Amino acid sequence: MKLDIKKVTEKIKNKKISWIIILSYIVLLVYPLTSFSENLHSLEKNIMLLDLSRSSIIFIFDSVLLLFIIIFPLAFLLLLIMKRRLRVIRQMMVVVLILVILITPILGQSTFLKSLPERETPLVSKVFIITFDGTRADAFWKYANWIIQRKDQSVWARNLVCTYPTVTYPNHVSLVTGTWPQIHGTESNAREYRSVQFMLRVYREPRVVDVFDVAEDYDILTAVFTPASTLAGIIGGEKTRRIINVGHGHETMQAVINYINNNKAEIESKGFLAWIHLVDPDETLHQYGVDSIQYRSAIRAMADEVGSLYDAINSLGWDEDSVIIVTADHGAVGNRHYGVWPPLVAEIPFWMWGKPVKKGYELGGGRIIDIAPTVAFILGIPAPASSVGAVLYDAFEEDYVRSIRGSDVNLNKLAFESLNYAVWNEIKEIYFWGILTLTMIWIMTIEIIYLARVFKELAIEEKKVRRR
Ligand SMILES: [Zn+2]
């Protein structure tokens, strides 16, 4: 009689945990589906939140994976030693098999070659992408005075989100390829210190093309200006000019201004795509922290450098034929951004100026991976083949785009289509990483519960033996 009651309570306990497990999967599967919206601004915000969820889930995945690799075989071995419960072992094998099946599709990802489609008429022929390394969105909108004063001449977003891992190389490669580090392959800085927590995230050269490669295919002049020489080497193709002996932001921008003045004729005939990397904010944050005067003044100074470029563009008479985009690769807390919970460091600023864009217009949000397809849209070239980002159609002046690309252009319709597609892509990613992570967590939990139970049984048996 006594034994029966024990069995019954155990069954109830089992049921409880099964329900919790089922519920956790239901929440994971259902919550991203609530992101669709009829309102463009909410849709832009929701996609940003989905991308943040994705980053957070991969962050948990990376942390849990280490635990899983240690605990799963250890607990499994203990179980084997303590009790030869073959039924349990068989169940475990099934779960492992399911995991393997789930993992296999990402390993087999490939890109295929397409023939070069005809170029559309560019909205402007010169695009300057400027990154303030390590600049938090909130700090940017407090201290980047030159830019803040020109909000009414531009499109801007309080923030976009960068991607995971929240460091320089992965995010710059995401910026130019329009896809996540887990797809383009550059998952760490070239010389980043290694941490076991992030053992999967290592430096590799990108395995997909970027918007500089595509621009080169269309014979647009491309150039990168950065002191990070390895990073310069993996962006663009053979013809990309790499100006890497530039130091701080001021020298970098001087190099840009000299370059455009010296290559005026070539730029005017071919068009121009440039990436300008201003490193001062990142340097000061690592040394003094994000609350320091040094960090604030670095941001202010970099905004003034944007002003110098703006003046140079105007004096060359290119103001009607250029777009300047200013953003960042990641934020920071204190004096770090590596190995930090992603939502704390993912908010980066966005400011875009030029004839084709709306004036004094605030976007609901966006992602760093949306910039490459947006640049491609401006230049009239295809987005990089592996890009999953959405063109920020909402940022453009429809009348202007129509005057160049034809009266049947409907930016609102295009925006909804690309954002809905982006939501589906995010949902797929969240399901993939979420299911893997949850499954690891539950396998470990069940293993530990089961181990505890076996220990208890063994202890009871031992007591019985001693009493005899
Ligand atoms: Zn950085």
List the pLDDT tens digit at each of the 468 positions of the chain: 444 555 655 655 667 888 999 999 999 999 999 999 999 999 999 999 999 999 999 999 998 998 898 888 888 888 777 766 556 666 777 777 787 777 666 554 444 455 788 999 999 999 999 999 999 999 999 999 999 999 999 999 999 999 999 999 999 999 999 999 999 999 988 876 556 667 788 899 999 999 999 999 999 999 999 999 999 999 999 999 999 978 899 999 999 999 999 999 999 999 999 999 999 999 999 999 999 999 999 999 999 999 999 999 999 999 999 999 999 999 999 999 988 899 999 999 999 999 999 999 999 999 999 999 999 999 999 999 999 999 999 999 999 999 999 999 999 999 999 999 999 999 999 999 999 999 999 999 988 888 888 888 888 888 888 887
Question: Residue 245 belongs to a domain with what CATH number?
Answer: 3.40.720.10
3-state DSSP assignment of residue 367: strand
138 contact partners, CB below 8 Å, separation of at least 6: 159, 347
**What is the Cβ-side half-sphere exposure of residue 58, based on CA atoms within 13 angstroms?**
24
Amino acid at 14: N
3-state DSSP assignment of residue 381: coil
Same structural domain for residues 80 and 143?
no
Answer whether residue 461 is part of any domain: yes
Question: What's the angle, vertex CA 19, arms to CA 18 and CA 21, rounded to 5?
Answer: 65
Same structural domain for residues 239 and 339?
yes
Same structural domain for residues 347 and 430?
no
CB 274 within 8 A of CB 223: yes
Same structural domain for residues 443 and 296?
no
Same structural domain for residues 313 and 288?
yes
* Ligand 1 centre distance from Cα of residue 364 (Å): 24
CB 331 within 8 A of CB 171: no
What pLDDT does residue 9 have?
54
Phi/psi for 128 (5° steps) reads -115, 115
Q: How many domains does the chain have?
A: 3
CB 133 within 8 A of CB 328: yes
186 by Cβ neighbours in 10 Å (0-12 / 13-18 / 19+) ranks as buried
The helix (run of H) or strand (run of E) holding residue 416 is helix 411-467
What is the distance of C-alpha 95 from the center of its chain? Answer: 30
End-to-end CA distance of the chain: 22
CB 318 within 8 A of CB 329: no
What pLDDT does residue 116 have?
82
The helix (run of H) or strand (run of E) holding residue 326 is strand 322-328
* Ligand 1 centre distance from Cα of residue 282 (Å): 6
- Out of 361, 386, 410, pick the residue that ends a domain: 410
Same structural domain for residues 231 and 218?
yes
* Ligand 1 centre distance from Cα of residue 136 (Å): 11
Same structural domain for residues 88 and 206?
no
Closest CA to 172 of 282, 304, 47, 59: 282
DSSP state of 329: S
Same structural domain for residues 21 and 40?
no
Amino acid at 424: W
* Ligand 1 centre distance from Cα of residue 337 (Å): 9
Closest CA to 157 of 41, 266, 57: 41
Answer whether residue 419 is part of any domain: no
DSSP state of 31: G
Same structural domain for residues 21 and 133?
no
In the chain, count of helices (H) and strands (E)? 16, 8
* Ligand 1 centre distance from Cα of residue 427 (Å): 27
Strands 347-354 and 154-161: antiparallel
What Rg, from alpha-carbon coordinates, does the chain have? Answer: 26
Domain holding 319, by residue range, is: 126-410
Answer whether residue 417 is part of any domain: no
The helix (run of H) or strand (run of E) holding residue 351 is strand 347-354
Answer whether residue 415 is part of any domain: no
What is the distance of C-alpha 466 from the center of its chain? Answer: 61
* Ligand 1 centre distance from Cα of residue 363 (Å): 24
* Ligand 1 centre distance from Cα of residue 279 (Å): 8
* Ligand 1 centre distance from Cα of residue 326 (Å): 14
Q: Taking ligand 1, which is a single-atom ion, which protein residues have CB atoms under 5 Å away?
A: 133-134, 168, 282, 329
* Ligand 1 centre distance from Cα of residue 5 (Å): 61
Answer whether residue 117 is part of any domain: no
Same structural domain for residues 4 and 64?
no
CB 419 within 8 A of CB 40: yes
Answer whether residue 240 is part of any domain: yes
Same structural domain for residues 167 and 98?
no
pTM of the model: 0.88
* Ligand 1 centre distance from Cα of residue 193 (Å): 14
CB 58 within 8 A of CB 182: yes
* Ligand 1 centre distance from Cα of residue 258 (Å): 25
What pLDDT does residue 141 have?
98
* Ligand 1 centre distance from Cα of residue 172 (Å): 8
Same structural domain for residues 316 and 380?
yes
* Ligand 1 centre distance from Cα of residue 247 (Å): 15
